[in-house]
Amino acid sequence: MRLTDCHNFHDFRALAQRRLPSPIFNYIDGAADDEATYRRNTAAFEDVDLLPRVLRGTPEVDTSVTVMGQKLALPFYLSPTALQRLFHHQGERAVAGAASKFGTMFGVSSLGTTSLEEVRKFAGPQVYQFYFHKDRGLNRAMMARAKAAGVDVMMLTVDSITGGNRERDKRTGFSIPFRLTLAGMAQFAIKPRWGINYLLHEKFALPQLDGHVDMGGGAVSIGRYFTEMLEPTLNWDDLAGMIADWNGPFCLKGVIHPDDARRAADLGCQGVVLSNHGGRQLDGSRATFDGLAEVVDAVQGRVDVMLDSGIQRGTHIVKALSLGAKAVGIGRAYLFPLAAAGQAGVERMIGLLRDEVIRDMRLMGAAKVADLGRDNIRYRRP
Ligand SMILES: Cc1cc2nc3c(=O)[nH]c(=O)nc-3n(C[C@H](O)[C@H](O)[C@H](O)COP(=O)(O)O)c2cc1C
């Protein structure tokens, strides 16, 4: 199987599975507990049908959107994800480079493996994703550094005050950085190309955290990072303080309840991302598409509502836009292509998804995103 054989999410996932050592593949692919929310995230889109409008003559389709003051050429963006250099040695450079090329937004993760300053060199809209640590000094330093790097939008992730129960990672012993002991090597020996690339390229690091995660003293599981380093008492007052300190466009990622979205609007956020972290945190949490209309209605246009979790197709994006999302984030949908083929993989995926959105909008009779609305969809169940 080659990159040119990849036509959709499932093809990229299969190619990534072939290329990656299994602990890494399962870290990306896995979710919390029984992974019920993970499955529902995508299945939810099948509970509504699209109602295309015909005979409207739509030769040109404009896919651009504006979210939180950022102009995106596409209505989907690359949601922030951790550890990208583990998935492919080009890591964040590949993903940010591809996003820049297509004029869409890239999210820089607090757990990124390429420095914020390096990623900022790529033109185009970007958000900086923030994890709120117990160490307030670290938080202040991270914010000051983000300001100095010219970050426009600050995105605070609020669904991860403790680690989700990711049992696949427990089974495989997934941790950062990989200690390539003899036993560790054995696990990776069956994927020698990945191992050689990992060893030959720059040393693994988490530059956004600037030495605060101890890389020398042994491997840290992702669950331990969340549980030991992040602030479990994080509350609305902390958010208000952070919004004031940041003094610029601010966005909350990981909102599910409409009242929380309303409160984020009251506090002056420009955006909320309806997200359950791709099912990786609280299993049984509501699928984001199921809750989208309620959240859009709750905020009454006071904040831009975005949605992520479960997006695999152009029609998923068209359905979310029809219900009132301003843009849609993708996670695994670009991570598998990254793992499969680096920047070439991410570019192929973005191009395919863009073509799907254009084709779907044309078939819907929508020449621009604003032409999509609730009248374009019907729920199958009352
Ligand atoms: C491997 C992986 C790592 C992630 N790392 C982060 C992260 O560092 N910060 C964050 O806010 N969200 C993180 N997420 C969540 C994504 O930003 C996004 O919410 C999620 O992937 C959307 O679901 P999807 O994968 O079904 O598209 C991660 C997701 C995955 C799959």
Report how far residue 298's alpha carbon sits from residue 357's, in angstroms, rounded to the nearest whole number: 27
Ligand 1 geometric centre to CA of 277 (Å) = 5
CA dihedral sign of residues 16, 20, 25, 27: negative
- Confidence check: pLDDT of 138 > 80: yes
DSSP secondary-structure letter at 355? H
How far is ligand 1, taken at its centre, from the CA of residue 278, in Å?
A: 6
Strand partners, 66: 71
CA–CA distance from 28 to each of 92, 234, 277 (Å)? Answer: 15, 26, 12
Q: Whose CA is nearest to atom 11 of ligand 1?
A: 157
* Ligand 1, atom 19, residue with closest C-alpha: 277
Residue appearing with tokens 């840290």: 220
Identify residue 301 by its one-letter amino acid code. G
pLDDT at 101 over 70: yes
Which of 57-61, 88-92, 176-180 shows the highest mean pLDDT? 88-92
Res. 379: pLDDT tops 90: yes
- In the set 89, 133, 277, 316, the catalytic residue is 277
- Is residue 133 predicted with pLDDT exceeding 50? yes
CB 268 within 8 A of CB 251: no
- The closest residue, in CA terms, to atom 4 on ligand 1 is 81
Q: Residue 21: which region, alpha, beta or left (left: phi > 0; alpha: psi -120 to 50)?
A: beta
Distances (CA, A) of 3 to 107, 271, 350, 362: 24, 35, 13, 27
* pLDDT at 45 exceeding the cut of 80: yes
Give kind and range of the element (H or E) at residue 76: strand 76-78
How high is the pLDDT of residue 226? 84
pLDDT bucket at 195, cuts 50 / 70 / 90: confident
The pick from 37, 79, 108, 166 for probing ligand 1's pocket by mutation, whose C-beta has the most ligand atoms within 8 angstroms, reads 79
Rounded CA-CA distance 11/19 in Å is 13
**Distance, CA 279 to ligand 1 centroid (Å)?**
9
Alpha-carbon Rg for the chain in angstroms: 20
Mean pLDDT for all residues in the chain = 93
Ligand 1 atom at shortest distance from the alpha carbon of 159: 11
List the single range of 84-88, 162-166, 203-207 with lowest mean pLDDT: 203-207
Domains and CATH numbers, the chain: 7-372 (3.20.20.70)
What mean pLDDT do residues 59-88 have? 96
Going by pLDDT thresholds of 50, 70 and 90, the confidence category of residue 200 is confident
> What sign does the dihedral 53-54-55-61 (CA atoms) show?
positive
Q: How many CB atoms lie within 10 A of CB 96?
A: 27
- Is 181's pLDDT higher than 50? no
pLDDT confidence bin for 185, thresholds 50/70/90 = low
Q: Which atom of ligand 1 is found nearest the CA of 275?
A: 19
- CB atoms near residue 148 (< 10 Å): 10
**Can you tell me the distance from the alpha carbon of 58 to that of 37, in angstroms, rounded to the nearest whole number?**
37
Going from the Cα of 79 to the center of ligand 1, the distance in angstroms, rounded, reads 7
Instruction: Tell me, yes or no, if 277 is annotated catalytic.
Output: yes
What confidence category does residue 179 fall into, taking pLDDT thresholds of 50, 70 and 90?
low
pLDDT of 176: 67
As a whole number, mean pLDDT of residues 219-233 equals 82
Give mean pLDDT, residues 1-29.
96
Query: Quick one: pLDDT at residue 312?
Result: 98
Q: What is the mean pLDDT of residues 18-30?
A: 94
Structural tokens at position 10: 């499932």
Residue 311 token pair: 């997006």
Question: C-alpha dihedral over 95, 361, 42, 285, to 10 degrees?
Answer: 90
Omega of the bond leading into 21 within 30 degrees of 0 (cis): no
Q: What's the CA-to-centroid distance between 95 and ligand 1, angstroms?
A: 14
Please tell me the distance from the alpha carbon of residue 262 to that of residue 11, in angstroms, as a whole number.
Answer: 39
Q: For position 215, what pLDDT does the model report?
A: 53
Percent of the chain with pLDDT over 90: 81
Q: Chain-centre distance of CA 132, in angstroms?
A: 17
Q: Report which ligand 1 atom has the smallest distance to the Cα of 112.
A: 8
Question: Does 216 have pLDDT greater than 70?
Answer: no
User: Could you tell me the pTM of the whole model?
Assistant: 0.96
Q: Which residues line ligand 1 (CB under 6 A)?
A: 27-28, 41, 79-82, 109, 111, 129, 157, 253, 275, 277-278, 308-311, 329-333, 335
Query: Among all chains, which residue has been given the structure tokens 């992974």?
Result: 35
